Amino acid sequence: MAKIIVTDRDGVDHELEGKEGWKVMEIIRDAGLPIEAACGGCCACATCHVYVDADWQDKLNAADEEEADMLDLALDVQDNSRLSCQVEFTAAMDGLKVTLAPE
């Protein structure tokens, strides 16, 4: 089973099943972790903001322009910020680590 490790806002790690073809946001939401994802994955809200672990930052496809524009509106943006609804999980991403950004 491929997995994703998600660190919540209390610093607790959660090991989730990484479902291929799902957006990382969907996997986090499906597991019941507190990710708002207000727009449902349309790249229109930035409330699915996560920080990607340094080891993984270069392994993901870069954010496209739409995502980058929306990230500009997010709070506490860092170099490793991504909108998790714009990151599709693939088998190659087994072990991916992300941290939920502050609300």
Measured CA to CA in angstroms, residue 78 lies from 21, 68, 75, 82 at distances of 26, 12, 9, 9
CB of 39 to ligand FES, least distance (A): 3
- Nearer residue to ligand FES within complex by CB, 1 or 96: 96
Residue type, 46: A
Contact predicate 103/9, CB 8 Å: yes
Contact predicate 6/13, CB 8 Å: yes
Site for ligand FES in 33-62 (CB under 6 A): 37-39, 41-48
Is residue 88 part of the contact set for ligand FES (CB under 6 A)?
no
Residue of this chain nearest to ligand FES (CB atom): 85
CB of 33 to ligand FES, least distance (A): 14
Residue 97, beta-bridge partner list = 5
Site residues, ligand FES (CB under 6 A): 25, 37-39, 41-48, 70, 83, 85
